[in-house]
Each structure stands twice: as structure tokens, then as C-alpha cells.
Structure 1
Amino acid sequence: MQFDFDGSAPLYQQLAAQIEEMIFTGGFDEGAQVPSTTQLSQQLHINPATVLKGMNMLVDEGLLEKRRGLGMFVRPGARQKIMECRKDNFYNDYVKKLLVEAAKLGITKEHLIELIERGEHDGTIKH
């Protein structure tokens, strides 16, 4: 388990984002226990309260659940929840802007589809 902190956001947010990424990519399976606050704070050399704040963010988002006396576990459906949230963010962050710019340039829906297909054929998009 590798964590990288870059200083651009508060540590607890970076920690939460990296645990979320591990859930999404299969580093933590649904139902699996995640390392304890103490383990993470010792491993990462950060305050346990900071770790707890990040973990609680994931609990609030419905990705982790606390089991009294046992620790934190990945909730069933967490990966799908992350996928849906990321799809929404992709639409809001990229697709809407693409459509606005395409309209400014007079690019039609058909031309956009051609451009996407061109990206598939020239190796830009890899499946």
C-alpha cells in the first residue's frame, strides 16, 4: 500500500482520495477491512486525528462502514458508487465543456462522433 502526498490539498482529503482510488482499482475489495487509523498514522507519520478525519469522510460518503470493536470495512457497492460519481464528474468536468466549445466552433454532433472515432483509430483511445 503506497500513499503519495503532494501538498495541494489537506492531508485528510488526500488520504481519503487515495483510499477511494484503492477501492476503485481493487486494492481494497468490498467487505475487506482497511488498515486502522493507528496503523495508517504510524505508517504515514501523520496525526491519527488527520487519518480519522479522512476515514470519516469515506464513511459519510457511504464507502466505508465502522464496525464497533472491529475497525473500518469497505461497504458493499462502494466501487459502483465511486464509478457513478466519477461518471457524473466526467460529464460535468469534461463533456459539458466539450459541448460548449464544440458549439462555439460550429462542430456538429456528427463531426464530434467522427473525431471520437478518429481518436479510436489513431491510437489516442486505448481499450
Structure 2
Amino acid sequence: MFDDTRPIFQQLADRLADEILRGVYREEEQVPSTNELAVQLRINPATAGKALTLLVERGVLYKKRGIGMFVAPNAPAIIETERQQAFSARYLVPLLAEARALGLSPSDIIELIENATSESSPQPVKDIAS
């Protein structure tokens, strides 16, 4: 469900964003209300509301007054862009800084990635019967 590493409202916002990316909620489709989320997840309605507000501020959801919250047009693209930027900041920037310190060229880095990818891919299982 939820863990203690981050505030619940952020975890819920991330969960809803994941569901939008997976197609659980499509563009222009209504998402559960603050109260529905609170009851379903057994959390404070203010926490659920904060998660929805966060997604509105990010342009992922929009509010139809008196009706509810809906998935914004291009919401999946917005989420993907945010996640790509976060991935770059968290992984690529430090990787490139370390590569520079080691004197690695871009082609060296690509070769390392390709080698790591081939090493981590599942190996075919040999048929014992043959």
C-alpha cells in the first residue's frame, strides 16, 4: 500500500500517474473523487485531496466544477516527460560526471551499457533431455 519513505499524498499522486500511463484512466476520463479515494484507501480525505491538487498543478488532471477531476489531454506525455527528466537528474547526470572523472568517452559509455545489457539479459535454458 503506502510506505514511510515519502508523504502519502505524493505516493498517491504517483500511483494515479502510473494508472494514467497504464491506461487505467484515459484522457478526458473522470478519476475517483477525494472522498472515493479516502474511503477506498482508508486515508484522510485531505490527503487524497492534496494528491489530486498536486496532479492538477502538474497539468495531469483538471477540475470540472461540480462534476469532478478528469485526466487532462496529453497527461501521459506530461508524466513521461517528468519521469524522463527525473531519470536524467537521478541517474544520467551522476553517471556522466563519473565517466568524465574516469576519462570515458561517449562511445566507451555506450559500450559499457551494451555489455551490461547483454550480460543481464536472460540466458536461454538448455534442454536437459537433448
TM-score of the superposition, structure 1-length normalised?
A: 0.88
| Runs of 4+ deviating beyond 2 Å | 119-125
Please say if 1:72 is aligned against 2:38: no
Residue aligned with 1:122, SS: helix
Offset, 1:54: 0.9
Distance in 2 (alpha carbons) for counterparts of 1:81 and 1:74: 11
Distance in 1 (alpha carbons) for counterparts of 2:26 and 2:120: 32
Match of 1:94 among 91, 106, 113: 91
Offset, 1:60: 0.8
Give the aligned partner of residue 84 of structure 1.
Answer: 81
Q: CA RMSD in A?
A: 1.6
Give the aligned partner of residue 27 of structure 2.
Answer: 30
Gaps of at least 5 residues in structure 2 are 123-130
Q: Deviations over 1:43-69 (max 9, x none)?
A: 111111111111011011110011112
Please say if 1:14 is aligned against 2:23: no
Gaps of at least 5 residues in structure 1 are none
Distance in 2 (alpha carbons) for counterparts of 1:9 and 1:121: 34
Distance in 2 (alpha carbons) for counterparts of 1:113 and 1:49: 47
Number of equivalenced pairs: 122
Please say if 1:59 is aligned against 2:56: yes
TM-score of the superposition, structure 2-length normalised?
A: 0.86
Residue aligned with 1:119, SS: helix
